[in-house]
Every structure is written in structure tokens, then in C-alpha cells.
Structure 1
């Protein structure tokens, strides 16, 4: 199954959009059904991990803390997702690896997969941030290729695609609000410092 699209953010420079989309906490907060996204090692346990619910994001968070927890190329992350698809609401224990991350071209590619009761998926996903043509702002181009099996796959793309579209629309609506707050309340020196840290 393939999904792709683009999203425009007027008034938000690409560099600030990149900083927000590099923060696992900001992504978690904007992704409906996501309990956490955190670096994982071989000892990681989905059942035992307790996320930090009160972790701050920009503009309130300390920029050094945000830079320290930013997605890193080659790092593996655990994400716990619970998304309703039709009458099914599985809890996906997901592992994601950041395969490529380029701070110059503002491009990131990730791959991974997850399992839930009687369903599983694997995916490759990517995004690239461009200058907004004919205006001040950013254009985010994204794509995902997913292979879904089990009970959810039996529902078919007619049921799955609208759910995926809604998740993406909600995500970018929420992330846009975070980016707007960062753009309005974070001065250029902080943004430049973060870019140098990432």
C-alpha cells in the first residue's frame, strides 16, 4: 500500500519545520494514538517502559535537551501506537530505524514495522522539506510504502486509506501549530544554535 502527499506551512521557514519534525516528543504529541517514541536497545521492553508525559517541546523546552533527543541516523526507536481501523483497535509495538537523515537537504528516511494481535505491518517512509514557492514558508513532501497483513489487511484499502489520510491530516494540523508557536516565540539565535547541535 502506498501513501504520499505534501503539506504547506505558510510563514514557517524550512529550518524551523525541520527542528520540530526532528523532535520525537513533538512528533509523538502530534500523532494521534501514539503513546511514545523513544530510543531503544536490545533490552527494551514495551510492557515496562514508562514515557515522560510531561516532556516539554519548543518553545518552552531547553534547546539543548531538544537537540540531544533529536532523531539520529542509524538509531532504532520504539513507538507504541494504538489506532482504530473500522471495528479493530490494535496496539502496535513498533520498531523504527532512521536510515538516512540529512540536515543540509532537510530529508529523512525511516523504515520499520510492528505487530499487534493478529495483524502486522512493515513500512518505509520519508520526508523532505522545501522552500515554499512564491511565498515565505515550507513545503513538506512525504511518502510511505506499507505492507499490512492479518486482520487489518482483510479490511482492505477502502477502509484503511481514509483512516491513514485522517491520521496524516491531524498530524500536520497539530505539527503546524507547534511550528507556528516555535516560529513566533523562538528567536533566530536559538534556531541557529539548534541547527548547529543537530
Structure 2
């Protein structure tokens, strides 16, 4: 299942790029995130609670950032095991471009599920996966816009 979306963020591309690579920002934006730990610069361990229809599970997994091309975008790959509920995998290509109001963030994501989750029905699973991706980027937008409106960063961009 594939889904796409975009957000216009009131921040420069460099600031958005920094946010996309900041573990604290990422943790704050993942819906249901209970823990988020850096294993390396590119790999993170996460525990996320998610509900898909009647199945609610705690997923333990990894998030890997790759194909970095700052400040233009990267690939995020995540996978999680939810025990008896099954597993979920997601990859997303995130692209940044200049926009009149700041930065246009666009994503193309693909998700797969297995186990009990796969038995629920692809329409519901697709809907929930799409909603989770949209919620992540909405939270990211809010976080970045709040940071910028607090006056942090814009005047510092490009100096360093």
C-alpha cells in the first residue's frame, strides 16, 4: 500500500532538514511513541503503541535514515514487531523544496503488515497507516513552525 502527502512548513529548508535529523524532534512527532533511542547517527530504536481496528499493540522496532541528501531529503525505513498482533514495515522518501511560505515537504510512503494486522483488511490498515504518516508530518510541521516563530534559527541559518 502506497500513500503520499505534503506539508508547507514555515521554516527554511536548512531548519527543516535539521529537524528531520534531530532525534528529539522525531520522537515528539511519532504518534504513540513511548521511547526513542539513538543507536547511531542513522539508526534509532523505538517503542510505539498503535491501534489498528480491534488490534492494539506495542511495537518494538527500528527506524533507519538513509540516502541523505541534505537539505533536499532522505529515505526513512521503519519496522516494528507487535508480538501476536504481527508486524509492520514502512519506507518513506521525504523531499524538501523551497516554497513561498518556507519549505514544501513531500513524502511518498509504502507500508506492509503481517500477522493479525494483515487479517483486519487492507482498507482499514491503509487508512490507519496513512493517518499515522499524516499525523507524523503534521506534528513535525507544528514543531518546526513553533520553533521558527519563537525566533530560533532563522537568523542563525547559514552562519556556521
TM-score by length of 1: 0.71
Change (3 A) 1:24 1:113: same
23-32 or 11-20, larger mean C-alpha shift: 11-20
Q: Which contiguous aligned blocks of 4+ residues in structure 1 show a shift greater than 4 angstroms?
A: none
CA drift at 1:3? 2.0
Contact 2:64 / 2:77 at 8 angstroms: preserved in 1? yes
CA distance in 2, matches of 1:35, 1:6: 26
- Per the alignment, do residues 146 and 172 of structure 1 end up closer, same or farther by CA in structure 2, a change over 3 Å counting? closer
Q: Does 1:192 align with 2:158?
A: yes
Give unpaired runs (5+ residues) of structure 2. Answer: none
Matched, 1:166 2:131: yes
Cα deviation per residue 1:75-129 (whole Å; 9 max; x = unaligned)? Answer: 321111111111111111111222221214x211132422112201233222011
User: Who is 1:59 aligned against?
Assistant: none
Greater C-alpha Rg: 1
| Partner SS state of residue 183, structure 1 | helix
The question of 1:77 aligning with 2:83 is answered no
**Distance across 1 between alignment mates of 2:39 and 2:8:** 32
Is 1:16 matched with 2:15? Answer: yes
Find out whether 1:136 has 2:128 as its counterpart: no
Determine the C-alpha separation between the residues in 2 that align with 1:122 and 1:111. 8
**Preserved contact between residue 34 and residue 46 of structure 2 (Cα < 8 Å):** yes
Structure 1 pair 145–168 and aligned structure 2 pair: CA distance change class (3 A): closer
> What SS is found at the alignment partner of 1:113?
strand
Gaps of 5+ in 1: 42-71
Aligned residue pairs total 158
Query: Conserved in 2, the CA contact under 8 Å of 1:16 and 1:182?
Result: no
Question: Is 2:32–2:50's contact at 8 Å kept on the other side of the alignment?
Answer: yes
Contact 1:13–1:136 (CA under 8 A) maintained in structure 2: no
